[in-house]
Amino acid sequence: MSRVEVRPFEAADVPASGALLAERHRRHRKAHPLLSPRFETVEAAQQEVAAAFSMENASGSVALRDRQVVGYLIAAPRPGWGPNVWVDSAGQATGEAETIRDLYAVAAARWVDDGWSAHYVLVPTDSELVDAWFRLGFGHQQTHALRPLPEDPADSSTVGIRRAEWADIPALAQLELELRVHQQRSPTFSALQFGTVEERIAAWEEDFDDPDCVTFVVEHDGAVIGLAIGCALDKSSSNAGLIRPDHAGFLNIAAVLPSARGRGVGRVLGQAVLDWSAEAGFDCVGTDWRTTNLLSSRAWPALGFVPTFFRLHRTIGY
């Protein structure tokens, strides 16, 4: 087999790259049929590739063998993430996983020259493709996952779970801060900012009556000890493009007070969002978690969520 030729990505490469993306998605849906079938069509896939390349400061590379496109890679920086560049869910496709390493070698040279030292990539859970990225120095940072709706509602009669009320807002704000504190601690070390309880209370008061979201709380001895939020997955900007099924619910966040952890409260809250998603008429449910968050990375797979995409990350220069 002849070697690939890799050069910078050009607008004229969109049609052939879209065909590769559609084929990648068809293969991916064989393992994860809950994903949207829309992107199996070449037209829809081409639109996603074109959108990725139209992002401000987008660039990438394309691989050719015998003048035929056999792989592509596109990324663009995101505001608020420092000197970064992101390969989103439509930003790569190849029928030969090893080719992604050649594509990255060409594309990343420009990214680093432009000062973008933090590289993020959303990768479908294809073991060969993930392995190729690992051999480029990337690590597993985030998991995106889906699961079917529950067949029967869970029995929560013995648990103090209910819909949140306006009077719960101070407790909800405190729980949200507890979640951020947990994410900042070892081994996650998230860079999320704390804010203040007062700021979170104001945010809750502004959004509390949003009809598109639901908040559940678990109460014990008269005190709120946990919360979970459910909404449509299309409200999550981090679960966009090929990651997002057409009509899915979303387990947005869940938080439990440190003193109440280890009692199964998180599982009860997660199950409540699953049951609500079924009642609301969604087709499936999605969520995501930091892989280094020991609590969520164990709780959500145990609740039936199956990974569909990984976010991988590499920092240049260290």
77 preceded by cis ω (within 30°)?
Answer: no
**pLDDT, position 1:** 62
User: pLDDT band at residue 151, thresholds of 50, 70 and 90?
Assistant: confident
Question: Is the domain of 242 the same as that of 291?
Answer: yes
Mean pLDDT of 133-155: 92
Residue 121, pLDDT > 60, answer yes
Domain of residue 106: give its range. 5-137
Residue listed under structure tokens 């704000």? 173
DSSP string, 23-68: HHHHHHHHH-TTS-GGGGSHHHHHHHHHHHHTSTT-EEEEEEETTE
User: pLDDT band at residue 185, thresholds of 50, 70 and 90?
Assistant: very high
**pLDDT, position 36:** 98
**pLDDT, position 290:** 96
**pLDDT, position 192:** 73
Question: Is the domain of 19 the same as that of 104?
Answer: yes
Interatomic CA distance for residues 8 and 96, integer angstroms: 18
Beta bridge partners of residue 285, listed in sequence order: 147, 249
56 residue type, one letter: E
Residue 314 located in a structural domain? no
CB 25 within 8 A of CB 35: yes
Nearest to 243 by CA among 25, 50, 78: 25
**pLDDT, position 157:** 56
Residue 316 located in a structural domain? no
Question: Is the domain of 102 the same as that of 177?
Answer: no
**pLDDT, position 108:** 98
**pLDDT, position 198:** 93
Question: Is the domain of 293 the same as that of 224?
Answer: yes
CB 24 within 8 A of CB 93: yes
Over residues 81-118, the pLDDT tens digits come to 999 999 999 999 999 999 999 999 999 999 999 999 99
Of the three residues 88, 111, 137, the one that is the final residue of a domain is 137
Mean pLDDT of 229-242: 96
Mean pLDDT of 186-208: 89
Question: Is the domain of 152 the same as that of 297?
Answer: yes
Question: Is the domain of 211 the same as that of 191?
Answer: yes
User: pLDDT band at residue 317, thresholds of 50, 70 and 90?
Assistant: confident
**pLDDT, position 152:** 75
Over residues 21-69, the pLDDT tens digits come to 999 999 999 999 999 999 999 999 999 999 999 999 999 999 999 999 9
Mean pLDDT of 221-244: 96
**pLDDT, position 2:** 72
Over residues 283-303, the pLDDT tens digits come to 999 999 999 999 999 999 999
Of the three residues 137, 168, 191, the one that is the final residue of a domain is 137
Residue 154, pLDDT > 80, answer no
Percentage of the chain exceeding pLDDT 90: 90
Question: Is the domain of 82 the same as that of 223?
Answer: no
Gyration radius from the chain CA atoms: 21
Rounding to the nearest 10 degrees, give the CA dihedral for residues 300, 303, 309, 313.
20
Residue 222 located in a structural domain? yes
Question: Is the domain of 81 the same as that of 227?
Answer: no
User: pLDDT band at residue 3, thresholds of 50, 70 and 90?
Assistant: confident
Residue 249 located in a structural domain? yes
- Among the residue ranges 54-63, 141-150, 157-166, the one predicted with the least confidence is 157-166
Instruction: Kindly give the residue spans of alpha helices, DSSP state H, lying in 114-261.
Output: 127-134, 169-184, 197-207
User: pLDDT band at residue 155, thresholds of 50, 70 and 90?
Assistant: low
Q: Which long-range contacts (CB under 8 A, 24 or more apart) does 303-306 make?
A: 303/147, 303/267, 303/270, 303/271, 303/274, 304/147, 304/148, 305/145, 305/146, 305/147, 305/251, 306/32, 306/145, 306/146, 306/147
Domain count, the chain: 2
> What pTM value is reported for the model?
0.95
Residues composing the chain = 318
* Mean pLDDT for the chain overall: 95
